[in-house]
Amino acid sequence: MNYFQSDQNQPENQVPPTPPIPRYLTGPKRSKPILTYVLVGLTVLFYLGQVAVEQIFGFDLLFFFLGKVNEAILLGQVWRLFTPALLHASPLHLLANMYALYMLGRSYETINGHLRFVLLYLISAFGGNVLSFVLGKYNSLGASTATFGLLTAEAVFIWQNRDFFANRGRSNLINIAMILAVNLMIGLSAGTMIDNWGHLGGAIAGLVFAFLAGTRWQIDRVNGIPAFMDQRTKKDAWLAFGLVFFAFAIIAAIPFFSR
């Protein structure tokens, strides 16, 4: 019995078949919304600190050092243009803002990434507190300056990528407009202690930042596969942050020169 087979009938230089190139569209890059969770947790910890310290000293010591107080800012305590976003006046106040941060923050950070999310949050808080400092006379606190920036940034993202959203994008924009309108009407109602200037400043800062640096999709081919690509870069995010910060810093300087 012949245990050896002749290779005369075997094809020479046999090449394995090339797998077909997939034709499906690769989805956009997504980030885990880690910083959203961190900010929610940090803000809750600050509120618990407010409650604990008030029980010990009889007054809100954290607000005393970190809240938006115009007279203190005029004395040079400019960190108060950022830190009020970490403080809240009541459990309901905290719950409302953390719900907004949780919903809007996860959405924005997932699509836009960690850097743009944290820069947007900071510049919205800054813009809101600056406008409140310049045009408002009352003390204030709360993360709503930043969450209003997240809301307008979401609207800008949908608008700039409207070709990818179709009718769903239009309905989302209408919902955002209704939320802004309702909050404005509540803020203008008699007897409310709502910082409308803070909301407006945060909304403007978030809108401008997102317009300059928010994700703008285009379809490119990567290794022959169509894929979502972001036209914006980290440099765009830092540049937008710097421009918006500079603009609001000029506004914040007005009361210092008008005294």
Q: How far is CA 46 from CA 89, 92, 143, 224, in A?
A: 11, 15, 12, 50
Tell me which of 144, 171, 189, 258 is the catalytic residue: 144
114 is catalytic: no
144 is catalytic: yes
Tell me which of 88, 124, 132, 199 is the catalytic residue: 199
34-257: in CATH 1.20.1540.10: yes
Q: Are 104 and 154 in contact (CB under 8 A)?
A: yes
Q: For the chain, 259 residues long, give each residue's pLDDT as a single digit of tens.
A: 444 444 455 555 565 554 444 455 455 678 899 999 999 999 999 999 999 999 999 999 999 999 999 999 999 999 999 999 999 999 999 999 999 999 999 999 999 999 999 999 999 999 999 999 999 989 999 999 999 999 999 999 999 888 877 777 788 888 888 888 888 888 777 566 788 999 999 999 999 999 999 988 776 666 666 666 777 899 999 999 999 999 999 999 999 998 7
Rg for the chain, CA atoms, rounded: 26
Q: Which two tokens stand for residue 256?
A: 């210092």
Domain ranges across the chain: 34-257
H/E stretch holding 40: helix 34-57
Please tell me the pTM assigned to this model: 0.84
